[in-house]
């Protein structure tokens, strides 16, 4: 269970403590952005609807609740059925909590009082949801300090309510508008809030970056944990379970950022493998190459990491050719990222690098520029280079104008076409996949077929594919890598040697708990005894 104290949100143990200042700063940034809006009246309140509790089929089975993302960005509330309000002029904040029945105590636990929530979430006022109409009708943030004074306020002009209504350019879904009994009595603006709050979420604060770095740290270690436990004969879902175990056991991550993609062999060519129709259920072979796309989530902040590696711990010639092509593209993009750079240009750079490798390896023939003109790389990488990441795995505001999406193979799958800004967080995830359907379509297209050497490409069909996905934050002169996993073929093979030495990785975190006498050495890949009275502070 989450613990809230003066330190903020905390899962206990060595998990990250998140200050409520993170959310008060977000609210402040939002109000500052809205204050400059030319048509906004002096009395305007932001109204946000939190996520609602749900039941599945039988009435008392509740899926694990996960907060609505915009609401979380503003308030950090973990409970369902809340609403929130923010006065644009002053930044004063209100939470509206559900009035729970007495029976709640027996089934769900103690009922918190409004003042408790006021302290926990560091907001200015807390009321019940059945009081919303009255509170908003008489809200005077510059003079009201408590509920008693609020109730004595005289009737005055109703404030303008700014509610969320807008299209998520990634999912195609619209935001859920806030609603409460009596809202029809107010002036409601459904157009102003969404683009402003979405743009605020694009740039991460230092406090947000701290949480994103933590999710990457834990998820990176979980990927390494999986690498050390993998062996032929296991099923893909067993590795999914190990990843989930590590994230929750050592990171306090009850949620994952998305459904795990634990693909092996030919499954690795399926971009969103792992869904209900293909549920990570193939048995691993010693000759398989794996593509594991998995990320843990902490306090609604996501990570999104993909590692590709051989079950055996040793790359074959063909596996190494493809892996090094993708890694080179990944690193070329990482070295080129900086403020002002076009993400479309980064995608094209990744394509060019990968085609050069495939040409050198004898899978293709012809001129690279001509290949680019016929969108040849989209056969091997039909998805976009990467996406923005934050509270949502595919974070908001990827397209300032959805009509500017490029309608060409590969490029049409980009989840953003923006120029980069300092403080943006993105994934870099080039890939090469050998999908028989896409290849057969290309063989029948004279403009593409002339570049393809089928006899060589056929040798790679059983491999599936390779994706290498890292999370980065754009800095003033480049980027900072948040993901920390073995990446070169040599690093992966060296790391995976430990599984043959039967290292008890399940307990390697405990080495740092033994009075500071042991440290896990990432360079030598072994446990070293260190001097007394030297703490390793949770390092591995």
| pLDDT at 529 > cutoff 50 | no
The Cα–Cα gap between 48 and 162 comes to: 9
- Mind listing the pLDDT tens digit for each residue in 190-249? 999 999 999 999 999 999 999 999 999 999 999 999 999 999 999 999 999 999 999 999
The CA distance from 465 to 326, in Å, is 10
pLDDT band at 155 (very low <50, low <70, confident <90, very high): very low
71: phi > 0 → left, psi -120 to 50 → alpha, else beta; which? alpha
CB 322 within 8 A of CB 466: yes
CA distance 505 to 223: 12
Quick one: DSSP state of residue 138?
T
Tokens of 120: 């926990």
Looking only at the bridges linking them, the beta strands covering 425-428 and 431-433 are: unpaired
Nearest Cα to Cα of residue 301 among 240, 175, 217: 217
How many residues belong to the chain?
Answer: 540
Secondary structure (3-state) at 519? strand
410-441: per-residue pLDDT in tens?
Answer: 999 999 999 999 999 999 999 999 999 999 99
Structure tokens at 529: 């005894």
Ranking 18-32, 316-330, 339-353, 389-403 by mean pLDDT, the lowest is 389-403
**Taking all residues of the chain, what is their mean pLDDT, rounded to a whole number?**
89
Instruction: Provide the token pair at 282.
Output: 């193939």
Phi and psi angles of residue 237, each rounded to the nearest 5 degrees, phi first: -65, -25
How far is residue 384 from each of residues 197, 309, 406, measured CA to CA in Å?
25, 22, 11
Q: Percent of the chain at pLDDT above 90?
A: 79
Number of CB atoms found within 10 A of residue 72's CB? 22
The pLDDT confidence band at residue 513, using thresholds 50, 70 and 90, is very low
Q: Which residue, chain included where needed, has tokens 């998520």?
A: 168
Report whether 505 contacts 225 (CB < 8 A).
yes
Q: Give the whole-angstrom CA distance, residue 47 versus residue 186.
A: 12
> What are the tens digits of pLDDT across the range 276-303?
999 999 999 999 999 999 999 999 999 9
Q: Give me 6's structure tokens.
A: 């003066």
Higher-pLDDT residue of 362 and 169 is 362
The H helix count followed by the E strand count for the chain is 17, 20
Please give the distance of CA 30 from its chain centroid, rounded to a whole number.
Answer: 21
pLDDT band, very low/low/confident/very high, at 502 (cuts 50, 70, 90): very low
Which ranges in the chain are annotated with CATH 3.40.350.10? 3-202
- pLDDT tens digits along 430-479: 999 999 999 999 999 999 999 999 999 999 999 999 999 999 999 999 99
3-state DSSP call for residue 426? strand
Question: Which residue spans of the chain are classified as CATH 3.90.230.10?
Answer: 206-499
State whether residue 46 is helix, strand or coil: strand
Tokens of 8: 């903020």
Q: Residue 81: how many CB atoms within 10 A of its CB?
A: 16
C-alpha–C-alpha distance, residues 459 and 321, integer Å:
12
* Residue 228: its H or E element: helix 206-229
| Across 59-79, average pLDDT | 92
Query: Helices 489-500 and 206-229 meet at what angle, rounded to 10?
Result: 50
Alpha-carbon separation of residue 315 from 331, 402, 420, 429, 512 (angstroms): 20, 41, 35, 20, 32
Task: Compute the Cα dihedral for 455, 459, 464, 467 and give only its sign.
Answer: negative
Is the CATH code 3.30.540.10 the one for domain 206-499? no
- Give the CA-trace dihedral at 297, 266, 349, 208, to 10 degrees: 0
Assigned CATH class of 3-202 = alpha beta
Question: Can you read off the two tokens belonging to residue 387?
Answer: 């996406």
Higher pLDDT, 53 or 374: 374
> 75 and 95 in contact (C-beta within 8 Å)?
yes
174 DSSP assignment:
B
Output the pLDDT for position 58.
67
CA separation for the pair 486, 496 (Å, rounded): 10
More confident: 27 or 57:
27
Cα of 400 vs its chain's centroid, Å? 20
């Amino acid at each position: 269970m989450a613990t809230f104290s003066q330190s903020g949100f905390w899962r206990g143990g060595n998990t990250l403590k998140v200050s409520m200042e993170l959310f008060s700063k977000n609210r402040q940034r939002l109000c500052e952005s809205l204050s400059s809006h030319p048509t906004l009246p002096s009395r305007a309140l932001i109204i946000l609807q939190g996520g609602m509790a749900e039941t599945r089929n039988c009435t008392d089975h509740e899926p694990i609740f996960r907060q609505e993302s915009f609401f979380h960005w503003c308030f950090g509330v973990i409970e369902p059925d809340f609403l929130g309000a923010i006065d644009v002029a002053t930044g004063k904040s209100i939470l509206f909590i559900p009035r729970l029945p007495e029976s709640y105590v027996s089934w769900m636990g103690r009922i918190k009082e409004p003042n408790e929530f006021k302290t926990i979430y560091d907001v200015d006022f807390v009321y019940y949801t059945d009081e919303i109409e009255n509170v908003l009708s008489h809200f005077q943030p510059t003079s009201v300090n408590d509920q008693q004074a609020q109730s004595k306020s005289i009737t005055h002009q109703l404030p303008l309510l700014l509610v969320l209504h807008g299209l998520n350019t990634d999912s195609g879904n619209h935001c859920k508008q806030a609603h409460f009994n009596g809202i029809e009595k107010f002036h409601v603006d459904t157009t102003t809030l969404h683009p402003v709050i979405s743009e605020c979420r694009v740039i991460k604060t230092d406090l947000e970056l701290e949480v994103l770095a933590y999710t990457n740290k834990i998820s990176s270690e979980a990927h390494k944990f999986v690498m050390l436990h993998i062996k032929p004969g296991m099923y893909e879902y067993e590795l999914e379970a190990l990843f989930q175990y590590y994230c929750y056991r050592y990171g306090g991550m009850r949620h994952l950022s998305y459904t795990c993609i634990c693909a092996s062999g030919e499954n690795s060519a399926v971009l969103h493998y792992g869904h209900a129709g293909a549920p990570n259920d193939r048995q691993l072979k010693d000759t398989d190459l794996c593509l594991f796309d998995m990320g843990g989530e902490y306090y609604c902040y996501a990570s999104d990491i993909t590692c590709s590696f051989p079950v055996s711990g040793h790359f074959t010639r063909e596996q190494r050719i493809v892996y090094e092509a993708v890694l080179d593209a990944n690193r070329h993009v990482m070295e080129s990222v900086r403020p002002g750079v076009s993400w479309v240009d980064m995608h094209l750079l990744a394509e060019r690098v990968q085609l050069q490798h495939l040409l050198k390896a004898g899978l293709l023939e012809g001129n690279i520029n001509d290949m680019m003109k016929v969108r040849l790389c989209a056969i091997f990488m039909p998805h976009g280079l990467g996406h923005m990441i934050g509270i949502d795995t595919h974070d908001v505001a990827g397209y300032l104008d959805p009509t500017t999406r490029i309608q060409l193979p590969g490029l049409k799958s980009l989840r953003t076409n923006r120029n980069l800004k300092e403080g943006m967080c993105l994934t870099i995830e080039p890939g090469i996949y050998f999908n028989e359907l896409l290849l057969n379509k290309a063989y029948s297209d004279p403009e593409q077929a002339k570049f393809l050497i089928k006899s060589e490409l056929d040798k790679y069909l059983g491999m599936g594919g390779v994706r290498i996905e890292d999370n980065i934050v754009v800095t003033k002169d480049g980027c900072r890598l948040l993901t920390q996993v073995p990446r070169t073929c040599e690093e992966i093979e060296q790391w995976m040697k430990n599984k043959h030495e039967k290292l008890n990785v399940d307990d390697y975190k405990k080495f740092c708990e033994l009075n500071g006498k042991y440290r896990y050495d990432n360079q030598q890949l072994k446990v070293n005894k260190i001097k007394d009275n030297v703490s390793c502070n949770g390092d591995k």
